[in-house]
């Protein structure tokens, strides 16, 4: 099942009652990756009052979930953070909310609200991507057709990874598997059947959605 994932790591901060709540959100494609991310954040913010983690590994109906209150009153931190992740539609996502205590106690309701809002701030701003199976291909393109080929690449959701300029332009391109045939058809038409790509690799990649 295809589902959106964070395209990159992002950090957002809110202040409530003088306390700083810093939400760092990142993609995590395995429990091990999520744990490494949490460890890295706890080392970066080792002087913080709390570092509250939550993650969802997988997506759709197959998800491994985890959350911890990290010393906050039970149910006031990790659970609200995880609830925001569940409601976001994202999979393979980890977040840690770092709190620096500002001297004013927020109470259980205030804590739930603050942790919820901190994660919401990161979720609402993060770019989304999708894991797709993609072909990486090589194409030797003549200079007169270069600009038109670039347009064809874009029209089939392709990415230009590299261009080497010599007698021809050697282009390294990447396409979602299901879009390569469409590019090939247009390329054949453009070049009167003279040009075709060579597949050099097929693997999963992140395709940005927004």
Instruction: List the domain boundaries for the chain.
Output: 4-126, 130-208
Cα(167)–Cα(140) distance, integer angstroms = 9
Q: How far is CA 16 from CA 8, 49, 91, in A?
A: 26, 14, 28
Tell which CATH architecture fits domain 130-208.
2-Layer Sandwich (3.30)
Burial 90-110 (b: 16+ CB within 10 A, else e): bbbbbbbbbbbeeeeebeeee
10-27 tens-digit pLDDT: 999 999 999 999 999 999
In the sheet that 10-16 helps form, which strands lie side by side, from edge to edge? 10-16, 19-27, 93-100, 50-59, 62-67
The vertex-173 CA angle with 169 and 179, nearest 5°, equals 130
Cα(98)–Cα(1) distance, integer angstroms = 32
pTM: 0.75
Beta carbons of 208 and 127 less than 8 angstroms apart: yes
Instruction: For 192, list phi and psi in degrees, rounded to 5.
Output: 55, 40
Residue 210, pLDDT above cutoff 70:
no
Beta carbons of 97 and 52 less than 8 angstroms apart: yes
134-188 tens-digit pLDDT: 999 999 999 999 999 999 999 998 999 999 999 999 999 999 999 999 999 999 9
Residue 1, pLDDT above cutoff 60:
no
Cα(55)–Cα(62) distance, integer angstroms = 13
**CATH 3.50.30.10 applies to domain 4-126:** no
Gyration radius of the chain over CA positions: 23
């Amino acid at each position: 099942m295809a589902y959106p994932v964070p395209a990159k790591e992002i950090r957002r901060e809110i202040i409530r009652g003088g306390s700083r709540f810093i939400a760092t959100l990142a993609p995590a494609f395995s429990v091990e990756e999520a744990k490494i991310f949490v460890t890295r954040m706890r080392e970066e913010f080792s002087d913080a009052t709390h570092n509250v983690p939550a993650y969802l590994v997988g997506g759709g109906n197959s998800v491994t979930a985890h959350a911890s209150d990290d010393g906050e009153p039970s149910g006031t931190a990790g659970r609200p953070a995880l609830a925001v992740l569940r409601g976001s539609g994202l999979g393979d996502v980890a977040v840690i909310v770092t709190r620096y205590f500002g001297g004013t106690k927020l109470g259980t309701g205030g804590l739930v609200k603050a942790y919820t809002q901190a994660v919401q701030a990161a979720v609402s701003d993060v770019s989304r991507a999708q894991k797709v199976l993609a072909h990486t291909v090589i194409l030797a393109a003549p200079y007169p057709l270069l600009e038109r080929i670039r347009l064809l690449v874009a029209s089939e959701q392709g990415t230009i990874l590299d261009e080497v300029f010599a007698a021809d332009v050697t282009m390294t391109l990447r396409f979602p598997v299901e879009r390569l045939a469409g590019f090939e058809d247009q390329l054949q038409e453009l070049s009167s059947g003279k040009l075709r790509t060579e597949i050099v690799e097929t693997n999963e990649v992140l395709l940005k959605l927004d």
